[in-house]
Structures are given as C-alpha cells and as structure tokens.
Amino acid sequence: MSYLPLRLRTRAAIVTLALVLLAGLVAHAMASPAALTTAEAAKVVDLVEKLSPELGPLAYDEETADEWFTRDEVRGGLIAKAGFTRESWRAAFDATFCGYLANLPEAPLDARFAQMRKRLEHTPRMTPEQRAAALAFVDEHEQRLGQLRAAGRPDAATVRPLVSRLDRLMPQDVASE
C-alpha cells in the first residue's frame, strides 16, 4: 500500500507484515484433525531451510504450502520424500508457523502495533482518509495475528525448540512503500 511509508526492522514488525498474506491460514490450521508432532514440525523446518534458497524467502500466505509443494514436485520432490502428502504438508506447515507465532512474546508485538499506530497518526503527508485506512489496516492485522497465535497455541510447545531456526528463516528487513 503506497500510503504506508514505513521501514520495519524488528522481528515483530516482520511477522506482522507477513500476516498481510496470511488470509485463510487459521482455517487450515484449525482444520487439521491431528496435533502437530515434534517430528513433523522438525521436518517442516528442515524442508523450509533446504528449499528456501530455491523457492525464495519465507513470505507466505494460505497458498504458500501448496505452492511450495507444487514447485518442489518439479525440483525433486523433497517434501513428498519426507513423507508428506499435499494435505499433510499444508496442515503441518500451517501448524508450524501458527505455533511459531504463538511463541512470540506478546509485549513486543503489542508495542510494535502501538508504534505503527503512533507513526500513522503523526504522518503529515497522509490525508485523513488514508490515515483511517492505514489505521484500519493495522487493526485488522493485529486481530489477524491474535487469531493466528490462538490457532497456534495447541502446537506452541511442539514448535518452541524450533523458534530460533524459524527466526532465521523470516525476512530480515521488510520495507513497505
């Protein structure tokens, strides 16, 4: 969105902006009938680490798991070789990333949303309509983050040992212009 001239560098901001692309992820995570296992979560992280150099950085939405599965099928099928079907990959991928979000400390996330609102409220180059739209955008994504974190709570303990690896997979600098 061109009216959001923010440069964001913190992990919380990166995760927050990545959520722009996450519509539908909660439905996938909640649709998973079985709890995420430690082995599945570790396989997901292993595969993302192996495939991200070829498939790109981890900017994902509800279609990313399917896209990665399709692109990996053409490149050698590492995901299928690891024992995942398209459906089980999607469920494990979504549960792993929701579990990751559930492990992020709440205070820095809240502070980041407050900081974004404060910047938007004091940006002189925005019209009142742009400011209202931008603030609504922030509110929507804060709510979305809360939903994703709630969906990830059942898998948070399973994913917790993998958080530092997942941190390294997240984009280090996201600019919205």
pTM equals: 0.74
At 31-85, the pLDDT tens digits run: 445 789 999 999 999 999 999 888 877 765 678 889 999 999 998 899 999 999 9
Q: Are 10 and 112 in contact (CB under 8 A)?
A: yes
What the block records as the tokens of 96 is 């792993």
Burial of 95 (0-12, 13-18, 19+ CB in 10 A): buried
Task: Pick 115 or 17 by higher pLDDT.
Answer: 115
Q: Measuring CA to CA, which residue among 96, 98, 97 is closest to residue 148?
A: 98
Cα–Cα distance list, 37 to 111, 115, 156 (Å): 32, 36, 11
- What the block records as the tokens of 79 is 């995901």
Question: Kindly report the CA angle at 26 between 23 and 27, in degrees rounded to 5?
Answer: 95
Confidence of residue 13 (pLDDT cuts 50, 70, 90): very low
Give residue-wise pLDDT tens across range 127-161.
Answer: 999 999 999 999 999 998 899 999 999 999 999 99
